[in-house]
């Protein structure tokens, strides 16, 4: 198991270096002058423009800028926002709980609905239920996030008035954040109606962000379950007189879980990618909306720091998923 862990950890450094290359150079391909964007419509005189370019080190060769960037990263310095002048790490830490809250609720929604749906589709193969799950999952997988989000807003917020259009909580509620997670903070505040308001604001973004992972998890669960249900040991368990529920839940599901866990780990990056659009649509004050605003402002430090930090989160989750393989099936860790 130790060798398995060390092998996975050895991939972290080259992956991180690759992320720094992408974060640094791809951002500079975005058209526009960050200094002119910083000045806005007021414009800026040439002398002041040259002074700011020199102050931010943009007058140096790109490779020199990259070397300086790596040196600062080695000391844990992600830089300061060109707009707010606040440290990037501090801004990220303030906004990340909102993104985590949305992503966790979205993946829980996908798991609670997707896994049972996939299991039922496999157990009742070629029935109306099976076809319904497959058609629904294909539709959910193909649905563009921005279009799906706008449809739900028009239906549930505008037409029916059941859910709020945007934000994290009603403007009439205010409490000091303790954890940064509004569901927890609203509950801790004890303010009447705050928890309900926070949950209502979370429903539509959670569904929109969780629809794509739900579809993939349902399809993978069905496929994996069908493969396992055809194994000899499943037929043996049935021949021994074990109940169908025990055979499916105890014997089949655990062995079918490994590919599903793989898919769940891969969905983390999908969640953060989708969160950028979802947070923009619902004005959710998280990291995704923060980075979209940074793109429009050409705020290089924010974009670079945000991409690296999100990439680090995805790498950590993928590492944990790899380690989970060994817990579910110890033969994997011994084989690697």
pLDDT tens string 220-257: 888 888 887 777 777 777 777 666 667 776 667 777 77
| pLDDT tens per residue, range 20-46 | 888 888 888 777 777 777 666 566 777
| Entry pTM | 0.80
Specify which residues 87 forms β-bridges with: 80
Q: What local confidence, expressed as pLDDT, does residue 39 receive?
A: 66
**pLDDT beyond 70 at 5:** no
Residue 10 token pair: 């050895």
Per-residue pLDDT band at 206 (split at 50, 70, 90): very high
Residue 120: band (very low, low, confident or very high) from pLDDT cuts 50, 70, 90: confident
Residue bearing the bigger pLDDT, 336 or 291 = 291
pLDDT value at residue 4? 62
Report domain 88-335's class. mainly alpha
- Is the pLDDT at 328 greater than 60? The verdict is no
Residue 50 has pLDDT above 90, yes or no: no
| Contacts for 119-127: CB closer than 8 Å, 24+ residues apart | 119/221, 119/222, 119/225, 119/248, 119/253, 121/218, 121/222, 122/221, 122/222, 122/223, 122/225, 122/226, 122/229, 123/225, 123/229, 123/244, 123/248, 125/226
State yes or no: pLDDT of 320 exceeds 80.
no
* Cα separation, 222 vs 136, whole angstroms: 13
Q: 260 pLDDT exceeds 60?
A: yes
106 closest CA partner among 333, 288, 308? 288
Residue 153, pLDDT score: 92
What are the structural domain ranges in the chain? 88-335
pLDDT score at 327: 62
Distance CA 216, CA 245 (A): 24
**Count of beta carbons in the 10 Å neighbourhood of residue 93:** 13
Q: What pLDDT digit, counting tens, does each position of 265-292 carry?
A: 777 777 877 788 888 889 888 888 888 8
- In this predicted structure, what is the pLDDT of residue 250? 67
Nearest of 301, 285, 316, 291 to residue 97 by alpha carbon: 285
CA dist., res. 108 & res. 143, Å (int): 19
Of 202-211, 267-276, 325-334, the least confident: 325-334
Could you give the percent of the chain with pLDDT greater than 70? 88
Distance CA 55, CA 257 (A): 54
- b/e string for 163-185 if b means 16 or more Cβ within 10 A? bbeeebbeeebeeeeeeebbbbb
User: 295: which residues sit within 8 A by CB, 6+ positions away?
Assistant: 30, 303
Instruction: Measure the CA–CA gap between 20 and 312, rounded to whole angstroms.
Output: 11
The mean pLDDT value of the chain amounts to 82
Q: How far is CA 236 from CA 120, 233, 239, 241, in A?
A: 21, 5, 5, 9
Q: Which residue has the higher pLDDT, 1 or 333?
A: 1
Q: Label residue 60 exposed, middle or buried (CB < 10 Å: 0-12, 13-18, 19+).
A: middle
- State the virtual CA torsion across 105, 107, 111, 112 in degrees, nearest 10: 10
């Amino acid at each position: 198991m130790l060798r398995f862990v060390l092998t996975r950890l050895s991939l972290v450094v080259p992956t991180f270096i690759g992320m720094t290359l992408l974060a640094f150079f791809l951002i500079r391909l975005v058209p526009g002058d960050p200094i002119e964007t910083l000045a806005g419509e007021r414009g800026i005189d040439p002398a002041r423009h040259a002074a700011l370019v020199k102050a931010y080190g943009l007058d140096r060769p790109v490779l020199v800028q990259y070397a300086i960037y790596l040196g600062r990263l080695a000391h844990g310095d992600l830089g300061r926002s060109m707009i707010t002048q606040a440290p990037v790490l501090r801004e990220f830490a303030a906004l990340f709980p909102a993104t985590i809250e949305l992503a966790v609720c979205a993946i829980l929604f996908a798991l609670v609905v997707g896994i049972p749906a996939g299991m039922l589709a496999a157990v009742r193969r070629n029935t109306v239920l099976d076809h319904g799950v497959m058609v629904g999952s294909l539709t959910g997988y193909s649905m563009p996030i921005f279009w799906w989000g706008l449809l739900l807003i028009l239906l549930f917020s505008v037409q029916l008035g059941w859910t709020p259009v945007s934000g994290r909580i009603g403007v009439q509620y205010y409490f000091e954040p303790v954890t940064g997670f509004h569901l927890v903070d609203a509950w801790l505040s004890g303010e009447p109606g705050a928890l309900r308001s926070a949950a209502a604001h979370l429903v539509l973004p959670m569904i929109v962000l969780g629809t794509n992972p739900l579809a993939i998890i349902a399809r993978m669960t069905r496929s994996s379950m069908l493969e396992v249900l055809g194994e000899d040991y499943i037929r043996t368990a049935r021949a021994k007189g074990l109940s169908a529920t025990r055979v499916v839940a105890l014997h089949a599901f655990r062995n079918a879980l490994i590919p599903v866990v793989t898919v769940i780990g891969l969905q983390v990056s999908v969640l953060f990618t989708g969160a950028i659009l979802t947070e923009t649509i619902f004005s959710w004050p998280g990291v995704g909306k923060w980075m979209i605003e940074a793109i429009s402002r050409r705020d290089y430090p924010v974009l670079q720091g945000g991409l690296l930090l999100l990439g680090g989160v995805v790498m950590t989750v993928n590492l944990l998923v790899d380690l989970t393989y060994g817990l579910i099936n110890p033969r994997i860790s011994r084989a690697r």
